[in-house]
Amino acid sequence: MITGAHESVAGGLHLGLEVAKLDGCGALQIFTKNSNTWREPELSPEKIAAFHAAHAAAGGIPVMAHTSYLINLGTADEALLKRSKDALVAEVARSSALGIDFVVLHPGAHLGVGDEVGIARVAESLQDVLARTEGQSARILIENTAGQGTSLGCRFEQIAGILEGVGAARADARLGVCFDTQHAFASGYDLSTAAGYEETFRRFDDVIGLRRLRAFHLNDSKKPLGSRVDRHEHIGEGALGLQTFWRLVNDPRFATTPGVVETEPREGGLPHRDEIALVNSLVGAPLPKPLTPALTLALTPPAEPARAKRAARGPKADKKSPKTT
Q: Which residues contact 176 (CB under 8 A, 6 or more apart)?
A: 102, 139, 140, 141, 142, 212, 213, 214, 215
Q: Which residues pair with 64 in a beta bridge?
A: 29, 102
Among candidate residues 110, 104, 214, the one with its CA nearest the CA of residue 161: 110
Residue 303: per-residue pLDDT: 44
* Residue 142: φ, ψ to 5°: -80, 125
What 3-state DSSP class applies to 178?
Answer: strand
Query: Quick check: 284 and 238 in contact, CB under 8 A?
Result: no
Read off the pLDDT of each residue in 133-152 and give the average, rounded to a whole number.
97
Pairing of strands 139-143, 102-105: parallel
Question: 40-90 pLDDT, tens per residue?
Answer: 999 999 999 999 999 999 999 999 999 999 999 999 999 999 999 999 999
Q: Is residue 299's pLDDT more than 80?
A: no
Q: Which of 4-13, 44-53, 209-218, 310-319 has the lowest mean pLDDT?
A: 310-319
Structural domains of the chain sorted by starting position, each given as residue range(s) with its CATH number in brackets = 2-317 (3.20.20.150)
**Cα 22 from Cα 270, distance rounded (Å):** 7
Residue 94 has pLDDT above 50, yes or no: yes
Q: Is the model's pTM score more than 0.85?
A: yes
Of 175, 4, 8, nearest in space to 92 by CA: 175
Per-residue pLDDT tens over the stretch 188-238: 999 999 999 999 999 999 999 999 999 999 999 999 999 999 999 999 999
> Greater confidence, 290 or 301?
290
Question: Which residues, in sequence order, are CB contacts of 229 under 8 Å at separation 6+?
Answer: 146, 148, 186, 222, 223
Residue 292's pLDDT is what?
Answer: 53
pLDDT of residue 306: 42
Average pLDDT over residues 302-311: 40
